[in-house]
Structure 1
Amino acid sequence: MNIQTPSGNAAGFLHRYAGLAERLPGAGVEAVRRLREAAAETLAAAGLPSRRVEAWRYTDLTPVLRAEFREALTPVDEAVELPPARAERRAVFVDGRFRADLSSLDGLDAAALSDVVGDVAGRLNTVASASQPMVTLNTLLFEDGLVLDVAEGVDAGRLELLSLASGETESTIHPRHLIRLARGARLVLLETAASPSGARHLHNPVFEIEVAEAAVLTHVRVQREAAGAYHLAHLGVRVAEGGTYDGFVLNAGGRISRSETHLALLGPRATAHLNGAQLVAEGQLADTTTALDHAAPNCASRQTVKTVLSGRSRGVFQGKILVRREAQKTDGYQMNQALLLSEDAEIDSKPQLEIYADDVKCSHGATAGALDPDSLFYLRARGIPADTARAMLVRAFLQEAVEIVEDEVARDALDEAVQGWWVGHGGEAA
């Protein structure tokens, strides 16, 4: 493919790759170079998705495609104001680049991807398929990320992963994170993505996660980026026999945000939780898309996603549970609930079950509605101001989802983000 003269809706990204190819990490590593060239060919041929693609029919990327993104130019030693620490150890990325001076990884087998990309090239793109468009884009342009391995039987405690944007106009960030837990290992990963008010950047993170036998990963993601930013995340997760992936994602920022998770339960008695909440305000779109593959018997999965929408906003939930023929004794549950605070808000919900086994217990459902007027009247009749009453009912609606998170520190982070969103969008503290 001639990347010097690309065309199509991905032309801008391909032009950028052509200019950066020799400066990107792994440029001299044959395996990495082949991955990037394959990604360039895929983007040139297929481009980025439009609403004609079924998986993207509810999420229009036109604003992303029209933006003129460029490389973030933040100096690696620029002073950055960090939020209060929630764990003793943290990995900090600013504009997608690892900041060793702001990070503390003592006692962990961890490194910046840019430093070890040649050593871990074989792990790249082994979980998330290159047919996924945002993974393909990330493969083309990734510069850094966290490479973390937790050894057999080790409880690594909590680790914060902070992804901060400097606020440069229409910069683009493509971190690639590789996380692997060995047999019986444990980790609580608290991830936060944030950017200053007024920022207009594209954040396109990709996670490749492996959870081995009897290992447990608790992964809480809080996305609080600026209202003009674009956040398009992809998680590829593989869980082995007896392993657990306990995930929760809170989307509370971004003009367009999409959290897409592809998770495979590959061994008996593996467990997955893919829970979350979306807080969507005027002019924003938030999309939670999941594909859960039950590929082994006696596995369980739980998914509850709640969406609160205000103003002229749009929420999307697409969740698919696939139960393969060999996955007998599957126990799967999926629920999506939406609370519309405005007549102009819209929710598109598409829960799906695809079952080939005959001894399973699976259910799914979706609901949408407004605040209960009787409950609101009850609170107002007791002297509670209208905004406070509404806040109390919204918090009560979200509480069921947030309470699912067992780690207290992670739950506090979610509560803080929910409260900050409500206050920031015209409400009062409950």
Structure 2
Amino acid sequence: MNAAVNSGAEGFLHRFDGLRARLPGTRMPWVQALREDAATRFRSAGFPTRRVEAWKYTDLRPVSDAGFDEALSILGDSADLPAPLCDRRAVFVDGRFREDASTLGSAEFAVDGLAQRLPQLEGRLGSLARPQEEPLVALNTMLFEDGLVVTVPAGVAGGLLELASFASGSERPAAFHPRHLIRLEAGASLTIVESARGPAETRYLHNPVFEIEVAEGATLTHTRVQQEGAKAFQLGTIYARVEAGGTYDNFTLNAGGRLVRNEIHVTLAGPRATCHMNGAQLLRHGQHADTTTFLDHAAPDCASRQTYKTVLSGKSRGVFQGKIHVHQVAQRTDGYQMNQALLLSPDAEIDSKPQLEIYADDVKCSHGATVGALDAEQLFYLRARGIPEEAARSMLVQAFLAEAIEGVADATSRAALEAAVSGWWEPAA
């Protein structure tokens, strides 16, 4: 395949044509219909450009121009992997479920690879995702090969589950598109700690899509630690639907990758549903990270909280776009959104776009954004007490981030976030 055919939207469409007969679900008409429809939509839309309002601040040309091949997993045995965070761990390498490296154990709920469960997923796969609106979701639907399927029965406390994704690394750029389906039935609970890592010198694309269903009175805590390789691209999309009295609590840390997009769509579909979407972005020279959220208040008496913090050094760029949409029926909505950025370099840039779209008249909604540098007086205070300048700067950055991380209630999730933040820090450029 030459470079012209291998790159851009045509490259992925060419790959789909070549893989049609080998992708999971080939003999299932409903799967093939999903894939063909997604391919048609992706062929029509292509990669979104900056002329599209939702992509105004993020240029996908580096992804489009890269040219990707099929992922060929070369990671060795489970001894090559970092130690697990908990007893239950699902491991993915290049987007494929590795049962041999996973430790699922026995429990009151099922954790499986999507490829092996595909015959039972008609009506569930694709029920929340919107490939007709999101080209990258269409790309995932067209080319997904595997993913995680979790179902927690009604009333079951699922405990802690680790979802660990690794890129194995190869000489040729690879792309993988896992599709994860998570369902909590009425009154169930689960905490997921998701991590994503890859080799520093390998160029690859990780394009995951989550479809999350939180039933009445259920609680899902979802902590994400993104530490992709320095040349990697991650374009992740989450769709979550929360029913009456349910809670979806998401914290996303972006600390790796060359270009990252964290897009979250949450619908509060039943009365008294709750959503917390918080996170942090830690960006060095040359990195670009985009957090875009869409929070749909579609029922009365619901509450939402969003707080995102970004630290930028060198010539890096951060983006925050957050939209709260309150339907007319969603009376007594309580929504809050805040974006804060700390610039450690004159070459760093942050684009912040908080939005409220309200059609109900009995609501309490607010949003805001702050951008600034390290406080000179605080820095002087620390220096005056004998603390070296770089150590003082580091302490102030850590303090800026600590407020966000301290809000994560689960100890294992919080420890994973603190370890990632500690490993990221180095003196500002």
Flag whether TM exceeds 0.5 (same fold).
yes
Shift of 1:82: 1.6
Alignment partners' CA distance in 1, 2:33 and 2:331: 39
Q: By how many angstroms is 1:404 displaced?
A: 1.3
138, 143, 146: which one pairs with 2:145?
143
**Deviation per CA, 1:236-272, whole angstroms, max 9, x where unpaired?**
0000000000100000011100100000000000000
Work out which of the residue numbers 263, 273, 278 in structure 2 matches 1:275.
278
One-letter code of the match for 2:284?
A
Give the structure-2-normalised TM-score. Answer: 0.96
Aligned equivalent of 2:19 = 20
Partner of 1:214: 217
Are the counterparts in 2 of residues 149 and 180 from structure 1 also a CA contact under 8 Å?
Answer: yes
Q: Does 1:408 align with 2:411?
A: yes
Matched-pair contact (CA < 8 Å) for 1:76–1:97: no
**Residue aligning to 2:367:** 364
Q: Give distance in 2, aligned partners of 1:365 and 1:380.
A: 32
- Alignment of 1:96 with 2:95, yes or no, is yes
Runs of 4+ in 1 over 6 A off after TM superposition: 5-8
Match of 2:40 in 1: 41
Q: How many residues in Structure 1 have an aligned counterpart in Structure 2?
A: 422
Give the conservation status (yes or no) of the 8 Å contact 1:208–1:235: yes
Q: Is residue 90–residue 164 contact of structure 2 (8 Å, CA) maintained in 1?
A: yes
Confirm or deny that 1:115 pairs with 2:111: no
- 1:185-207 Cα offsets, whole Å, 9 max, x none, are 00000000001211210000000
Q: Which amino acid is 1:374 matched to? A: E
1:310-357, Cα deviation, whole Å (9 max, x unpaired): 000000000000000000000000000000000000000000000000
Q: Distance in 2 between matches of 1:184 and 1:105?
A: 22
Report if aligned partners of 2:89, 2:164 keep a CA contact under 8 Å in 1. Answer: yes
**Aligned 8 A contact 1:8 1:44 in 2:** no
Please point out which of 385, 388, 392 is paired with 1:385: 388
Distance 1:46 1:8, change over 3 A: farther
Structure 1 residues 310 and 96, CA gap change in structure 2 (3 angstroms): same
- Paired residue type of 1:205: P
Give the corresponding residue for 2:160: 158
Q: Deviations for 1:69-91, whole angstroms, at most 9, x for unmatched residues? A: 00111258655622222111000
Name the counterpart of 1:262: 265
| Preserved contact between residue 8 and residue 67 of structure 2 (Cα < 8 Å) | no
Partner amino acid, structure 1, of 2:279: G
- Match for 1:306 among 288, 291, 309? 309
Q: Distance in 1 between matches of 2:180 and 2:149?
A: 6
SS for the counterpart of 2:123 is: helix
The farther-off stretch of 66-75 and 54-63 is 66-75
Please give the residue correspondences for 1:277-426 in structure 2 after superposition, counting only pairs within 5 Å.
277-423=280-426, 426=427
1:121 is paired with a residue of what secondary structure?
A: coil
- Contact preservation (8 Å) 2:271, 2:300: yes
Question: Is the CA contact (8 Å cut-off) linking 1:190 and 1:221 kept in structure 2?
Answer: yes
CA distance in 1, matches of 2:164, 2:6: 35
Letter in 2 for 1:116: R
Q: Counterpart of 1:241?
A: 244
Superposed CA deviations along residues 289-327 of structure 1, whole A, max 9, x for unmatched, are 000000000000000000000000000000000000000
Tell which deviates more after alignment, 340-349 or 124-133: 124-133
1:176 paired with 2:182, answer: no
Q: CA RMSD in A?
A: 1.6
> Is the Cα contact below 8 Å between 1:76 and 1:99 reproduced in 2?
no
Offset at residue 46 of structure 1 (A)? 1.2
Q: Distance in 2 between matches of 1:311 and 1:103?
A: 38
> Is contact 1:40–1:140 with CA below 8 Å preserved after alignment?
yes
2:134 alignment partner in structure 1: 132
Structure 1: unaligned runs, 5 residues or longer:
none
**Residue identity opposite 1:18 in structure 2:** D
Residue 7 of structure 1: how far off its partner (Å): 11
Name the amino acid aligned to 1:412. Answer: A
Structure 2 Cα separation of the partners of residues 8 and 415 of structure 1 = 38
Which consecutive unaligned segments of at least 5 residues does structure 2 have? none
Q: Percent identity?
A: 61
Deviation at 1:387, TM superposition (A): 1.2
SS of alignment partner, residue 254 of structure 1 = coil
